[in-house]
């Protein structure tokens, strides 16, 4: 958040990365034995923190003070029972989602809208939401349920898409690409199609049976964009006209060893903010892939990362790529082109445990 990397440690509290190590944030001990599952900027000096079973708090990251009464007790009890999974900002509101539906709260900590099964939400389990910040206030809020998608229109009645609309498994991610909604599930990638007779979700056949974990919109040039869909075994490239290719089939300079080509897959991908033509993926290695003049090529391969399956990947404002595995957090300096230095973080650097 604002260039600062935060980490939630159940045993220690809220940690932040400073001077090459994770240390306790100011007042971070308050969150000891409170699992932080949502953290978002409230204003310049404050963060809104959601916890798995303890509700929502307003945290002053300058002096470490905690406003435990930012949300009234009755609403916080509702959050505590529902186990918060995520907090997102939508316009001037904050959306708190979890296993008791979705709650919109204003900047005074008051609930402006509660959406649950009583309001026709598909089910009460909401792991995440998606809101396109680049659109105006008419952009819908897409709500990921375990077994389908719900949509909240700001200017029309609430509308629900369910399994009967074509989605047949758990939902992992949602993205709006080229004015089409795509949904990543345990059973493949779906897109929304609308006709005069109704709306449905269609499975992209090439992805059937794949657990699609992550979607990113890759914009290598001002006028070119692709949807990148990541699974453990393949990375799919979706074109604006809905054609689909597998990344490893597009690479013009693949390694001869077929096992090395498996690294063109990965649970997560991330675009390089300083080099828009490149994104990074990888299962055990980190692989940098470039799109230039209509061709895809491997530009970087970073090895020696403890041979563990890599999970999430992010790039901070200093040009460091961070990736996690079951037992490590790894930082890679992308500013160094040849053999970029790597730093591995474990309990010795402030992480709570070296276990799954």
Model pLDDT for residues 88-122, shown as the tens digit of each residue: 888 888 999 988 888 999 999 999 888 877 767 77
∠ CA 100-70-108 to the nearest 5 degrees? 90
Task: pLDDT band for 83, please (50, 70, 90 cuts).
Answer: confident
Q: How far apart are CA 214 and CA 231, in angstroms?
A: 7
Task: pLDDT band for 355, please (50, 70, 90 cuts).
Answer: low
The pLDDT mean for the chain works out to 87
260: helix, strand or coil: helix
Tokens of 84: 């918060």
**Overall average pLDDT of the 193-207 stretch:** 77
Helices (H) and strands (E) in the chain — how many of each? 3, 31
Q: How far apart are CA 15 and CA 351, in angstroms?
A: 9
For residue 117, the model assigns a pLDDT of 77
- Residue in the block written with tokens 């959601």: 50
Tokens of 192: 């929304």
């Amino acid at each position: 958040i604002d260039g600062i990397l935060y980490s939630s440690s159940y045993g220690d509290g809220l940690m932040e990365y400073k001077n090459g190590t994770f240390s306790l944030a100011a007042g971070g001990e308050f969150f000891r034995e409170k699992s932080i599952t949502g953290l978002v900027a409230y204003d310049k000096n404050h963060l809104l923190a959601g916890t798995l079973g303890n509700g929502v708090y307003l945290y002053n990251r300058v002096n470490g003070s905690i406003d435990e009464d930012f949300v009234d007790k009755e609403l916080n009890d509702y959050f505590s029972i529902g186990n918060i999974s995520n907090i997102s900002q939508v316009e001037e509101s904050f959306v708190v989602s979890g296993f008791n539906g979705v709650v919109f709260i204003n900047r005074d900590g008051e609930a402006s809208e509660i959406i649950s099964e009583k309001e026709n939400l598909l089910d009460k389990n909401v792991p995440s939401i998606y809101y396109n910040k680049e659109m105006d206030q008419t952009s819908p809020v897409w709500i990921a349920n375990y077994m389908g998608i719900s949509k909240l229109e700001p200017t029309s009645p609430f509308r629900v898409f369910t399994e009967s609309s074509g989605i047949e498994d758990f939902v992992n991610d949602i993205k709006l690409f080229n004015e089409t909604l795509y949904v990543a599930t345990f059973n493949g990638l779906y897109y929304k199609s609308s006709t005069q007779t109704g709306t449905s979700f269609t499975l992209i056949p090439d992805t059937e049976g794949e657990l699609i974990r992550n979607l990113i919109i890759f914009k290598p040039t001002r006028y070119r964009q692709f949807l990148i869909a990541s699974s453990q075994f393949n990375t799919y490239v979706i074109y604006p006209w809905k054609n689909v290719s597998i990344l490893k089939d597009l690479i013009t300079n693949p390694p001869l060893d077929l096992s090395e080509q498996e690294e063109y897959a990965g649970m997560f991908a991330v675009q390089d903010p300083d080099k828009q033509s490149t994104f990074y993926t990888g299962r055990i290695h980190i692989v940098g892939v470039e799109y230039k003049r209509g061709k895809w090529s491997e530009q970087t391969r970073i090895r020696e990362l403890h041979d563990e399956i890599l999970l999430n990947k992010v790039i901070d404002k200093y040009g460091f790529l961070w990736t996690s595995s079951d037992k490590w957090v790894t930082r890679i300096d992308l500013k160094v082109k040849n053999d970029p230095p790597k730093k591995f973080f474990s309990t010795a650097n402030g992480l709570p445990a070296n276990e799954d």
